[in-house]
Structure 1
Amino acid sequence: MVEQPTQSDPQADAAVLEDAAVPEVVSWLRVQDPHGERMAKVFRETFDQIYDGQRTGRYRLDQLFKTEKTHFGTLIEINLQREFKFEDGDLLDFSILGMEIDCKYSHSGQWMIPVEAFEQLLLVAKADDAKTQWSVGVVRATAAHRRVSENRDRKTSLNPDGRAAVQWVFRDHPMQPNALLQLPRELVDHVMGQPSGQKRLNELFRVAQNLRLSNNIIATVAQQKDYMKRVRSNGGSRSALKPEGIIILSGDYNAQRSLAGALGAVIPEPGEVVSVTVVPAESAFEGVPIGDGVWRLARLGEEPTTAAPAVR
């Protein structure tokens, strides 16, 4: 008996293609950004962009206007496209591997899906600046993945099955921390309440020791165009805090990064600084050579009695 060829089912073939599209896009994105560094940069820069800290002194989401919070998703979409050079879609935001894909951002993970994105691929994203985490994933907005209810604009969201179907490019991945969100609110209020940019920076370096402080944090606290000048010696924070035993180490210099590691302090990345208090070490075995002396990190509650050494 001759076996008859089976008839192709167009709907079944389409379903197979749809199922294959999601992991295909996920794999492509991972090739473009194997460790998530590029996406992490986009999220960090977008938070900093919307805060506009140098001009406003803002550093957290609840300080933004409602329209600014809404605009955040648009900025993420724009900045991701700039970073990865996504092609424009004909119907939706992007075209990746020749496939239309809509970019959706939500701080809470409740992505709103418009009618034109039904049955289409979604690039879903969320981020939490306080937790220094972000996530990006891909899912198809099929009827089985969408809620039945819709709002007045006929927008809906993913149902539990849809959220479970998201294939994550990166999930809860780290980004550069916002040091002002790692400090108690009253301490930040105290810093920001100082009467000048220089005094605010000096106080920041006193109270936020052994934390990575980005250039953007420096700009937010100083609120001046020449904010990095306020960090340096010759009248900046390094000079002002030297009598208190405080040194400020820059991640832009390998020697200072190495010194931070040798001291056992947090190591600043490029574009960051870390402030720490040091005291003379009791012996060469307990400290690190700096200048003509040997120094170690001050212990909790230990008051320095000697000015800090000059750091090069």
Structure 2
Amino acid sequence: MSGETDRIPLALAHLDHADLKKLETDLIDAVGGWEAFSEKLRGFFRAAIDEVIDTARTGRFFFSDLEKTEKTYLGTKFEIILRDWLGVPKGVRLDLLIGGEEVDVKTTTSAKGGGWMIPPEAFNQLCVLIKVDEAAARCDFGLVRARSQYLRAGSNRDAKTGLSAAGRRNIWWMAKDFEYTANFWALTDDADRAAIMQGGGTQRIATLFERFQGIPISRVQIQAIAAQDDFMKRIRRNSGARDILAPKGIAILYSENDRSLMRRLGLKFGSREFVSVSPKNAEEAALLRSANHID
């Protein structure tokens, strides 16, 4: 993970080492390698949370604005998006089918450790454990076989239970305390929001990218700011925001089209995210100009 996060596998002698090593390998192969895993993980939570906040239709900006039921639904949203970016099918009994094994996906947004609730059908099965701290924009991504000896003795009305404190020592961490893309709106103040939301869709997008360069912004947020069905048209050349910013030497880059260039420029970004940037030197200016991003 290029030193960006802690990967903490289990010891070779651990009972679950072989199973979890295979699951990690299957996940990384499915997503396209560790670099792709890092980029997708960075944008994974941002896209899911932004879609549920739904700024364009609700006028809300933050995770704290969500209803309790919406926060609960996020677990399902994470599962759906994870299945999509892994490109694997749903299992018969559990959430994923990967490498010939059914795998359950458990998510918590609780600040406390071990907030995952394991249902009876996932007992002794492989699980992906996801923990999200939206306030800090940090996440954990772990693997475990939910053996009975790792679980708490008590259960709730649905017979679900969690990992005990001792049981949590049996998690294989693919990413620990990983920094994902923060909510862009948390970086703005009232004056910024007022300025960004002035004018038509193209002008809004141009103002956004001129004011907030080097900051990854999810495709979902771009749609909210443009407030138009054809929001991608508001970014492109030919009367889009790029026509306003390119003469100023500001490029708008998109991870799905400009990934190699963004990596070469050393930008940090997630899947389906935009970053605007001004070249720091003549070499970067030549790169951006040759790609027709600046004039």
Counterpart secondary structure, 1:101: strand
Match of 2:4 in 1: none
Taking structure 2 as the reference length, what is the TM-score of the superposition?
A: 0.68
Separation (CA, whole Å) in 1 of partners of 2:47 and 2:211: 25
2:173 to 168, 175, 184: 168
The residue that corresponds to 1:306 in the other structure is: none
Rate the CA distance shift 1:61–1:150 in 2: closer, same or farther, 3 A.
same
Structure 1 counterpart of 2:94: 92
Q: Is the 8 A contact 2:52 2:70 kept in 1?
A: yes
| Residues 1:30 and 1:240: Cα distance change in structure 2 (over 3 Å) | closer
Alignment CA distance shift 1:58-1:196 (3 Å): farther
Instruction: Flag structure 1 segments of 5+ consecutive residues without an equivalent.
Output: 1-15, 279-285, 292-309
Q: Which has the higher contact order (CA 8 A, sep 6+)?
A: 2
Identify the residue that residue 49 of structure 1 maps to in structure 2: 51
Task: Determine helix, strand or coil for the equivalent of 1:75.
Answer: helix
C-alpha separation between the residues in 2 aligned to 1:194 and 1:217?
Answer: 16
SS in 2 for 1:112: coil
Q: 1:27 aligns with which of 21, 25, 28?
A: 25
Using the alignment, how far apart are the partners of 2:269 and 2:15 within structure 1?
46
Q: Verify the 8 A CA contact 1:26 1:137 in the aligned structure 2.
A: no
Task: Determine if contact 2:213/2:275 at 8 Å carries over to the other structure.
Answer: no
Q: Which amino acid aligns with 2:93?
A: L
After TM superposition, the structure 1 = structure 2 runs for residues 1-312 of structure 1, keeping only pairs within 5 Å, are 20-33=18-31, 34-35=33-34, 37-38=36-37, 39-40=40-41, 41-108=43-110, 110-129=115-134, 131-175=136-180, 177-178=181-182, 180-181=184-185, 183-191=187-195, 194=198, 197-198=201-202, 200-231=204-235, 237=241, 246-251=248-253, 272-274=274-276, 311-312=294-295
Q: Partners of 1:268 and 1:275 in 2: how far apart?
A: 12
Q: For residues 187-207 of structure 1, what are the alpha-carbon distances to aligned partners after superposition, in whole Å with 9 as ceiling and x for unaligned?
A: 554346646545543542453
Which is higher, the Rg of structure 1 or of structure 2? 1
Distance 2:224 2:62 in 1: 11
What is the rounded CA distance, in whole Å, between the counterparts of 1:88 and 1:185 in structure 2?
41
Distance 2:29 2:107 in 1: 22
- Give the gaps of 5 or more residues in structure 2: 1-13, 287-292
TM-score by length of 1: 0.65
Q: Which amino acid aligns with 2:294?
A: V
Percent pairwise identity: 31
Q: Aligned residue pairs: how many?
A: 264
User: What do the CA deviations read for 1:191-243 (whole angstroms, capped 9, x no partner)?
Assistant: 4664654554354245323433444332222212233444467765566679x
> Secondary structure of 1:122's partner?
strand
- Is the contact between residue 127 and residue 144 of structure 2 (CA under 8 Å) also seen in structure 1? yes
Distance in structure 2 (CA, Å) of the matches to 1:60 and 1:202: 22
Hey, what's the Cα distance between the residues in 2 that align with 1:79 and 1:289? 34
Amino acid at match of 1:86: V
Cα distance in structure 1, aligned partners of 2:91 and 2:85: 16
Distance 1:230 1:97 in 2: 41
Residue 248 of structure 1 contacts residue 273 of structure 1 at CA under 8 Å; is this kept in 2?
A: no
CA distance in 1, matches of 2:107, 2:221: 24
Do 1:59 and 1:180's aligned partners in 2 also have CA atoms closer than 8 Å?
no
CA distance in 2, matches of 1:95, 1:49: 25
The answer as to whether partners of 1:246 and 1:277 remain within 8 angstroms in 2 is no
**Which deviates the most, 52-61 or 155-164?**
52-61
**216 and 159 in structure 1: CA distance in 2 versus 1, 3 angstrom threshold:** same
How far, CA to CA, are the matches of 1:28 and 1:106 in structure 2?
23
Instruction: Tell me if the contact between 1:134 and 1:174 (Cα under 8 Å) persists in the aligned partners.
Output: yes
Asked if structure 2 preserves the Cα contact closer than 8 Å seen for 1:146 and 1:156, the reply is yes
